[in-house]
Amino acid sequence: MDAGLSTGTLMRKRAVSMREKPWPAGRIRRAGCMRSGLVMKLKNLEELFLYELKDLFSAETQLVKALPKMVKAATNRQLKEGFQMHWEQTKEHVSRLEQIGTQLGKPLTGHKCKAMEGLVEEAAELIEEQGNDAVRDAGLIGAAQRVEHYEIAGYGTARTLAQHFDQHEIADLLNKTLEEEKETDLKLSGLAESSINSEAEHAGMR
């Protein structure tokens, strides 16, 4: 150790040096959130509301691209039809969000929902798995319900914020989509319990 520097002096210099270091790229700072790899600070509840809407818009637009692949991969007729119906419904969800953005005078583009990106990637990996069709169908239901649960949470949050700001028309639009997401989740559960899980079990015994 340099005889001219005491232990206390060295510790103070080290503390100052650590404070002066820049934040690592991609690290989330407190009171901020990630958008397109950059930190976006949320300064008030209005900004959180807009963030939630942008996240939903990104999630839905990703689903519009992903659902046709799930339609193609499903072998159970009812499941295939259900995915097809939800694809059409999802396009309507995007339109509602665009309507909300127009009403608020705010574009909902420019954000990437990382959670939905991961869920879509998991579904794509499942589709590529080699195995029994019935077992894959059961897996596709699970993948679809993960998506629904994420969206139910997101739409519930956004609707509550819209109600807080007395944006009743926007709250009604968000609630309509929320109820449709819940209905889809229930239909998927019913399909799994009524037939697909049993078909997958029997297939595994062959």
Contact 81, 68 (CB under 8 A): no
Q: What's the pLDDT score for residue 202?
A: 80
22 Cβ contact list (under 8 Å, min separation 6): none
Q: What's the pLDDT score for residue 187?
A: 97
Question: What integer best gives the mean pLDDT of the chain?
Answer: 84
Check pLDDT > 60 for residue 44.
yes
Bridge partners of 197?
Answer: none
Q: How many helices (H) and strands (E) does the chain have?
A: 7, 2
26 Cβ contact list (under 8 Å, min separation 6): 34, 37
The model's pLDDT over 49-98, given as tens digits with 9 standing for 90+, comes to 999 999 999 999 999 999 999 999 999 999 999 999 999 999 999 999 99
Contact 35, 111 (CB under 8 A): yes
For the chain, list the domains and their CATH numbers.
Answer: 44-205 (1.20.1260.10)
**131 pLDDT band (50/70/90 cuts)?**
confident
| Cα 54–chain centre separation | 11
